Structure 1
Amino acid sequence: MLPDSLVIGTRRSRLALWQAGYVRQLLQKACPGLTITLQCVTTRGDRIIDRPLSAIGGKGLFTEEIERGLYGHTLDLAVHSLKDMPSELPDGLILAAVPARGNEKDAFVSRRYQSLSDLPRGAVVGTSSLRRKAQLLHLRPDLTVSDLRGNVDTRLSRLDDGDYDAIILAAAGLIRLGLSDRITSLLPPDQFLPAAGQGALAIEARSDDEPVLRLLQAIHDERTAAAVTAERACAAAIGGSCQIPAGAFASWQGGDLVLRAFIASPDGRTCLNRQATAPAADARKLGYELGKDMLAGGGEALLRSLRTTIKGDTL
């Protein structure tokens, strides 16, 4: 028997509320008459905004408090940006559904310059992501990359105030908030790899909640799920977190998935790129094996160096 009401957990930001509202619309279209309430939760990642994500912990910063609501049965499901979710979920919780993916690309946003290549030497680019910083410096080592935290509106305001010459944001977030006009140009994945799962939404639920799991299948997209499964398996194989500059993106080629991934040093000087193809049915294996191939091809030594740096910065 399907449930007649649900409580969805979400962060409080405008983007998070849009995403939860979008999932509510999908569910109510699939199951007319279903009553759905949104419940806002403040996460640790929302509270700490004066330090880079890499300095306050890995992924899970935006999910842990919401997951407590799932465990406590005050929430029936949770909606997250998939790129913010850890590769491994806590016991008793699962990635129950993934709707069709939005735009996976990163967006270059500037009031004065049309593209990354147009920026003058020494231009200041804002981002809080080590992945974006490493790729920016790999492509343009002459740039200055400065930390930028806060929600989408806050980041755009700081750009408009002149704190930065450009900023890098997820295109999907701008599009979902009706801010497509702020996108100056899109950074193609063959030059600038997104985070694993970027542009996709994740619906998390209790693994034993059969009525909710059955309901969620109505909005699950198999093609998106296969692609992000490969990406997340690759991230898990290399130990991906906010503290590691890494990215992965899987595209479709007929019935196959083409997975591209990278690991880099924070300064962008070292950047390991790999690509592999496999049938979509082998998505998890594809990601895992590509991740292990990257580690064997120099990634393990790079990660050891990164961990030493992180440990030294923490002391």
Structure 2
Amino acid sequence: MTLKIGTRGSQLATTQAGTVRDLLKNFGRDAELTIITTPGDTNMSPVERIGVGVFTQALREALIDGECDIAVHSFKDLPTAADPRFHLVVPGRADVREALIARDGLTLEELPEGARVGTSAPRRIAQLRALRPDLDIRPLRGNINTRMGKVESGELDAVVLAYAGLSRLGIGERATEVFAPEVFIPAPAQGALAVECRATDTSTVTALDMIMHADTFVRSIAERTVLNRLEAGCTAPVAAYSTLAGYTGDTMELTAAVFGLDGRKQLVFSAEGPGQRPEELGETVAAQLIEDGAAELLG
């Protein structure tokens, strides 16, 4: 049986779904892409106005309705609460870092005073304002080429995008600066894919389990646990990044941050714990952020 992989129709989404198709084929399972249109593909309002989960709900509905056997999401777009209707696996993660695409090859530091920088993500807005309070930050939606096109046309001086998307499309060289995660902290689970099937579809569950990447899974769970415990959605000004260390990768370090939108205040906390208990570490970090006043910043 050929598995139908549900995906949004953008170039990046089909490329991401294509990696999942190829992984399945490597394990002897035939698969093909099925395009599902989501409200986020037709409504160009800011994501925080459309609603959390706008890019995933239609894919999940298509999965339940039998239009596809598998759905591929950017993990950072999924609601943080587990949904028992679906079986979830996470393949290997792409580069987690944030990237600047600026005119004339400029870095963030080199941009002129008052430069127009495009992004609609509150997390990115807050960090940009903290790093460069003088910038004129403009709202930004559309696919990667549309966003970069605003720089090429001169409408904007720069945009900030996830480096994972550029890398997956083979255009990573378009970035004029790639930020270290400690400098510009990425979104929880940035660069990771979430691949779902119906929990009752035992044959597909078995197929998906073959492409699970354990390290990526536990790191993503730790980061998203912070988001969940802070009761924040994917558009909140919350960032998280984790690494695994030790001889067998059994020690995890997790850093998370909450930002004020004006960039003037940020709460950052890091902790270490067993890599086998990612939820526990995520809860520890979130609890410290809450104690430090995260609720007031998110309020």
Match of 2:56 in 1: 63
Residue 113 of structure 1 deviates from its aligned partner by: 4.4
Count of residue pairs the alignment pairs up: 296
**TM-score, normalization: structure 2?**
0.96
Match of 1:29 in 2: 26
Letter in 1 for 2:181: P
Match of 1:313 in 2: none
Does residue 1:188 correspond to 2:215, yes or no?
no
Q: What aligned pairs does 1:42-191 form with structure 2 within 5 A after superposition?
A: 42-49=37-44, 51-58=45-52, 60-94=53-87, 96-191=88-183
Structure 2 counterpart of 1:263, from 248, 258, 263: 258
Aligned residue for 2:103, secondary structure, equals coil
Residue 243 of structure 1 deviates from its aligned partner by: 4.0
Letter in 2 for 1:77: I
Q: Please, which runs of 5 or more residues in structure 2 have no aligned partner?
A: none
Q: What aligned pairs does 1:232-311 form with structure 2 within 5 A after superposition?
A: 232-254=224-246, 255-304=250-299
Inter-partner Cα distance in structure 2 for 1:147 and 1:121: 18
Letter in 2 for 1:68: E
Letter in 2 for 1:76: D
Inter-partner Cα distance in structure 2 for 1:243 and 1:232: 13
Q: What aligned pairs does 1:211-226 form with structure 2 within 5 A after superposition?
A: 211-226=203-218
Inter-partner Cα distance in structure 2 for 1:138 and 1:111: 21
Structure 2 counterpart of 1:11, from 8, 24, 30: 8
Does residue 1:39 correspond to 2:31, yes or no?
no
Contact 1:126 1:168 (8 Å CA) reproduced: yes
Aligned residue for 1:208, secondary structure, equals coil
Contact 2:102 2:159 (8 Å CA) reproduced: yes
Aligned residue for 1:78, secondary structure, equals strand
Inter-partner Cα distance in structure 1 for 2:105 and 2:262: 23
Does residue 1:202 correspond to 2:194, yes or no?
yes
Inter-partner Cα distance in structure 1 for 2:60 and 2:281: 29
Residue 266 of structure 1 deviates from its aligned partner by: 1.3
Contact 1:113 1:119 (8 Å CA) reproduced: no
Residue 112 of structure 1 deviates from its aligned partner by: 2.0
Inter-partner Cα distance in structure 1 for 2:207 and 2:182: 36
Q: Determine what percentage of the aligned residue pairs are the same residue.
A: 38
Residue 163 of structure 1 deviates from its aligned partner by: 1.0
**TM-score, normalization: structure 1?**
0.91
Task: Provide closer, same or farther for how the CA distance between residues 243 and 98 of structure 1 changes in structure 2, counting only shifts above 3 A.
Answer: closer
Residue 118 of structure 1 deviates from its aligned partner by: 1.1
Residue 70 of structure 1 deviates from its aligned partner by: 1.2
Contact 1:57 1:242 (8 Å CA) reproduced: no
Contact 1:55 1:243 (8 Å CA) reproduced: no
Residue 137 of structure 1 deviates from its aligned partner by: 0.3
Q: Please, which runs of 5 or more residues in structure 1 have no aligned partner?
A: 305-315
Contact 2:237 2:298 (8 Å CA) reproduced: no
